[in-house]
Chains A and B, each alone.
Chain A
Amino acid sequence: MARARDESSPLFAGNSAGTLRLIMYLALAMVLMVLDHRNGWLWRVRYTAATVVEPIYRLAGLPSAGVRTLSVAFADRARLTEQNQRLREDLLLANAKLNRMAAVAEQNTRLKELLDTQHSLDLNVQLARVIGVDMGAYRYRLTLNMGARDGVRAGQPVIDAHGVLGQVREVLPTTSSVMLITDPAHALPVVIERSGLRTVAYGSRDGGELTLPNIPLAADVKPGDHLLTSGLGGRFPPGFPVGEVRSVAPAASGMFQEARATPAADIDRSDDVLLLHDLAEPQGPPAPVVPAGPAADLAPRGDLPAAATTAQPAPAMAPISNRPATIGGTP
């Protein structure tokens, strides 16, 4: 069939690919791209197409799952025993630490109750597995095997055993996609453990690193400092390890110091991750206090309208917790 058409096709121009049609399709693609970039339609389409998309994810995840299974199947006994021994020791150590912490934690909750705050040290987590799927585009995403049906919501923090990994960005019915903290479009409010300095850790372009571009020149930051989540922004709960400062240098602008840090979490190697369920309590500045003036019947008569206006809480002062932890977003 193809042979018959070959005679009619001229040597230098195909017949089924008119320039007009090319222009039409390119224009269509561009319109789609612009609409999607503006409105984020793609994920709504994906959500409806999930019955087709998700099996392909599982299919594409099979090779890496197979490699994992094979590596367990063919791992020699000695290595497994050694690994088991190490895990046992870790567990023992962790349990010992926990026991010691229990008393402190209880004391802490009692004191917190006295102070009447809602801060709790309990974690409400959900274990999820990483599906080995390559999402193309510079690889700052992970795909998890839990989705909307398992109660995952966009914005949930994701951690592993060593630290913060990222946050859930998009949710499909049975899978979800995680934006890593090393994504250049991700910003994470952190605090330096030693000095208590608060700053923001961004992902970096070359991957696998965090940059802290705006540290004041006079601030005390050294390589080896540990970074913790500060809880500002309200998306990540405070106190989780984020990374370790590796180098500090003056920024190109000369106005700030710029630090580079390695993430504490095993960004490349995590197979099982934890989804935090309790969103952090807002830790912004306290709500503006209504000025306590003299009682209304004591106020002089002439001031009454003015007093009524000052008694309104100022709506312009929105708490910081409304600000999302992501700046911009991946295109």
Chain B
Amino acid sequence: MSRHRAGTLWFVGTLVFALALMLVPLPGALEPFKPYWPALLLLYWALESEDQVSLGLAFVVGLAADLLTGVVLGEQALRLCALVFIALHFRSRLRFFPMWQQTLAVLALLLNDRVLLLVVRMLAGGSLPPASWWLSPLVGAALWPFLFLLLDDLRTRARIQ
């Protein structure tokens, strides 16, 4: 029972940590390289424990991220919902991909997320972002294997389901 509670705590903790990481600024030159942390963490949990991640959770995390960054309420909720839906839909396949294929899939998901964001911004009358804006999914995908292995390792060490 307490192990289960520790598991939930760890799960929620990683998501809050991802939201905080999203807000941490990087020095100017590194700024475009910052990955979209909530998406990466949600992807990890969607692949690892299906019964904890649902569209509703993605929506709530997205709303929290919107509240924090203060752009438009619902923007990140929409993006994360779409992302988690795709991830859950192909979950059984993604889980058994070798790591490099999984990384490519994550790259595709993150790029799709950027396209979605671009569409939303354009509809809201925003301006076209600079080319360096597209670097973030690449960095996110490059980090994916390490993030996945690190989180998996931490989880097995703590023996959390």
Contact = CB atoms under 8 A, between A and B. Distances in A.
Contacts of A12: 90, 92-93
B92 A11 contact: yes
B50 A45 contact: no
A144 to B, nearest CB: 14
Is chain A's interface secondary structure helix, strand, loop, or mixed overall? helix
Contact of A331 (B50, B59, B72): B72
Contacts of B89: 13-14, 17
Interface in A111-141: 132-139
A207 B88 CA distance: 38
Interface residues of A, number: 54
B78 A33 contact: yes
Q: How many interface residues does chain B have, given as a range?
A: 35 or more
A89 interface: no
B152 to A, nearest CB: 14
A77 interface: no
Nearest to B71: A137
A56 B85 CA distance: 28
Contacts of B31: 134, 139
A80 to B, nearest CB: 21
B99 interface: no
Interface in B101-158: 120-121, 124-130
Contacts of B128: 205
Given A2-B50, A56-B20, A32 B74 contact: yes
Given A37-B124, A42-B66, A45-B67, A60 B54 contact: no
A137 B69 contact: yes
A41 B70 CA distance: 11
A29 B92 contact: no
A53 interface: yes
Given A11-B93, A16-B50, A21-B55, A29 B81 contact: yes
A318 to B, nearest CB: 27
Contacts of B88: 14, 16-17
Contacts of B55: 16-17, 21-22, 25
Interface string A170-205: 100000010000001000000000000000000001
Interface string B33-76: 01000000000000011110011101100100011111111110
B130 to A, nearest CB: 6
A-B pairs with lowest CB-CB distance, top 10: A32-B74, A60-B23, A29-B78, A17-B88, A14-B88, A33-B74, A36-B73, A134-B25, A29-B74, A331-B124
13 contacts: A12-B93, A16-B50, A22-B82, A22-B85, A25-B59, A26-B81, A29-B77, A30-B74, A53-B68, A56-B19, A56-B23, A134-B24, A170-B70
